[in-house]
Structure 1
């Protein structure tokens, strides 16, 4: 039997079906938790037969890991797109950083992202390697992309940095920490004004620590 060529309708259909299974699995795992979620429920959510899931993903354990990493990869793509908007020639660095912080918080505070983090925290003992896998699929990539932008500002003489990756980590902590606390890990909604205030405060704190050019230093008050 000849195998379908890459990009052929047969291959495309198999990829689409696999993605539908992963999307459905994440929804069911997020709703019911790993232990309570059944492959039958996932098959029903995906609109496929139960054997189809095993043909694609072998086991419930593998299905969970792949659903989690696939969701992290989608979240990463959205966050990286936000980071690319940080232009090195930005006239107002404070506003530029606050805008990016606000955009990243929009990704961070999505229902899917909160569900991903809650599931990871709940199942980290059962799946100890998942933390690193999620990091590689998501937060690590966003941090590296943001660090690259900060390094460009340093080369332009606008930031004083010894370690751009560490600086990126610190900025991300400045935006996500307050939001995680104030939203009770995503269980309490935050309005747009609250999110913007967090982003602006993060930009102010960051620039007071790292800004080189006097014009980029935030004003007091």
Structure 2
């Protein structure tokens, strides 16, 4: 694809190195999310970013490393957003049921803010066997496992405060169940956002998930 076409498609970044790198990461997320790893082309990604292919190679060396960096950068941003949610809702608990519901509603309400990342994850599921080396393990460590650890640590801290019946023996289990009860069914039933789900249905699943979680881990479940 000609360089002129790339400038029309992508917003031309400023000349700074940092800005070009960020433009390439954004362009990579868009193209990899749309086309998948195998079908995405270097020329197409450079055009989406509004830079030359030479610039892409200078920054990332090639397609494999660009995919890795785009995925891990995106996963880190999503993890940071989830950690902020946990701190906002669970750092100071006044009513565990209300606070968990508020956390869960915001968690699900903000899922559309990470659309590019969700598309990348969908491609990982579809193309896992064809992805480079250990990229899936790196993504899991930076994204899902890091979020799980943040939830686990928050629940264990609430257990130490006497708010939840959680301690070091069951905090991993509690974090896993909460994530599955709140986000799991919506994620699976919408196939990572492909199939729409109305707000009322999402709210109903949040309410059901929190209620079930509290039956398992509330200090006084009744």
TM above 0.5: yes
Could you say if the C-alpha distance between residues 185 and 88 of structure 1 is closer, same or farther in structure 2, counting changes exceeding 3 Å? closer
1:117 to 111, 116, 121: 121
Instruction: Report the equivalent of 1:9.
Output: none
Counterpart of 2:85 (choices 56, 77, 82) is: 82
Residues 1:99 and 2:102 are matched in the alignment = yes
Q: Provide the aligned length of Structure 1 versus Structure 2.
A: 204
Q: How does 1:124-139 map to 2 (within 5 A)?
A: 124-127=128-131, 128-139=133-144
The corresponding residue for 2:64 is: 61
- TM-score, normalization by structure 1: 0.84
In structure 1, the residue matched to 2:49 is 46
Following TM superposition, by how much is the alpha carbon of 1:73 offset from its aligned partner in structure 2, in angstroms?
1.3
Alpha-carbon contact 1:79-1:107 (below 8 Å) kept: no
CA deviation after TM superposition for structure 1 residue 24, in Å: 0.4
Q: Secondary structure at the match of 2:37?
A: coil
Given the alignment of the two structures, is residue 140 of structure 1 paired with residue 145 of structure 2, yes or no?
yes
Q: What is the CA RMSD across the aligned residues, in angstroms? A: 1.9
Q: Which residue of 2 aligns with 1:4?
A: none
Unpaired runs of 5+ in structure 1?
Answer: 1-11
Counterpart mapping for 1:202-217 below 5 A: 202-212=209-219, 214=220, 217=221
Work out the CA distance in 1 between the residues paired with 2:191 and 2:31: 22
Query: In 1, distance between residues paired with 2:36 and 2:93?
Result: 44
Q: Mark the runs of 5 or more structure 2 residues left unpaired by the alignment.
A: 1-14
